[in-house]
Amino acid sequence: MIIEALCLKKKYFRDENSFMAVDGASLSVGEGEFVCVTGRSGSGKTTLLNMLAGLLPPDSGSVTFEGREYGGMNDDELSELRNTRLGYIMQGPGVLANFTVTQNVILPHVISGREGDPTDRAMSLLEQTGIRGLAAQYPSSLSGGELRRVAVARALLMSPKLLIADEPTGDLDEETTRGIMDLFSSIAKEGTAILMVTHDAETARRCDRRYDMKAGRITSPGAHLG
């Protein structure tokens, strides 16, 4: 098991009232697995992923990544984990406008403070994601699908064990969606586990297993598909 979440809860406040954005969600992703979470907008998917990435502390419940529990880790340790073991592709545009495509892709390396020049690796990832020709461009000149590919290449830079993607095809047309899904399938085949959120049942069919989320709860137990 790469990641395992047990009974995660997160309460939010809106005006005077509180409500459970995530209400006792449990899930797990194994080595090299391609797992999907589906659910309608507002069902708590993003909140769940933020907790799984260690960006948001849950009110209760636990997340264990490669045997280490987030609860016992400080900010430095969690950041290091996100930097090297876990690739996170956030919902919406997730590329920094002040940096070129290549610079964006090597950001995790810059943040890590490690020695060496990751440019060659970034180039081969851009090749793999099919946007090698845009390497020197600034994000403002890229389309939504291209931006998503930049985010994917960047998430893969440090060779993480798990890729978490929050609606990576949410705002893309069918054709582009298929291209991204093909890319994910090939990444999964190469051994990187993927946890992907989508509100599109069609897209979810490409996954090995699938969880359903409704009002903060996981309603289907992550059954194997096909």
Ligand X SMILES: Nc1ncnc2c1ncn2[C@@H]1O[C@H](COP(=O)(O)OP(=O)(O)O)[C@@H](O)[C@H]1O
Give me the residues that bind another protein (CB under 8 A), please. Answer: 41, 46, 50, 53, 55-57, 75-76, 79-84, 88, 90-100, 102-103, 106-108, 110-113, 117-119, 122, 136, 138, 154
Nearer to ligand X, 51 or 163 (CB): 51
Whole-angstrom distance, CA of residue 194 vs CA of residue 161 = 9
Q: What are phi and psi of 44, to 5 degrees?
A: 105, 15
85 CB neighbour count, 10 Å cutoff: 17
Whole-angstrom distance, CA of residue 220 vs CA of residue 47 = 18
* Residue 130 to residues 2, 150, 188, Cα–Cα distance (Å): 28, 10, 17
Considering the complex, what minimum distance in angstroms separates the CB of residue 61 from ligand X?
Answer: 15
Nearer to Mg ion, 188 or 213 (CB): 213
Considering the complex, what minimum distance in angstroms separates the CB of residue 89 from Mg ion?
Answer: 12
Residue 217 contacts residue 9 (beta carbons within 8 Å)? no
- Binding segment for Mg ion (CB under 5 A), chosen from 18-26, 44-52, 61-69, 200-208, is 44-52
Whole-angstrom distance, CA of residue 56 vs CA of residue 183 = 28
Nearer to Mg ion, 46 or 84 (CB): 46
Nearer to ligand X, 46 or 177 (CB): 46
Residue 181 contacts residue 206 (beta carbons within 8 Å)? yes
The answer to whether residue 46 forms part of the interface with Mg ion (CB under 5 A) is yes
The answer to whether residue 43 forms part of the interface with Mg ion (CB under 5 A) is no
Residues that bind ligand X (CB under 6 A): 12, 14, 21, 39, 41-47
Nearer to another protein, 139 or 179 (CB): 139
User: What angle, rounded to 10 degrees, do the helices at 144-156 and 119-128 form?
Assistant: 130
What does 14 interact with, of ligand X, Mg ion, another protein, none (CB < 5 to 8 A by kind)? ligand X
Whole-angstrom distance, CA of residue 194 vs CA of residue 29 = 8
Whole-angstrom distance, CA of residue 101 vs CA of residue 123 = 10
Binding letters toward Mg ion, positions 61-100, x by CB under 5 A: ------------------------------x---------
Binding site for Mg ion (CB under 5 A): 46, 91
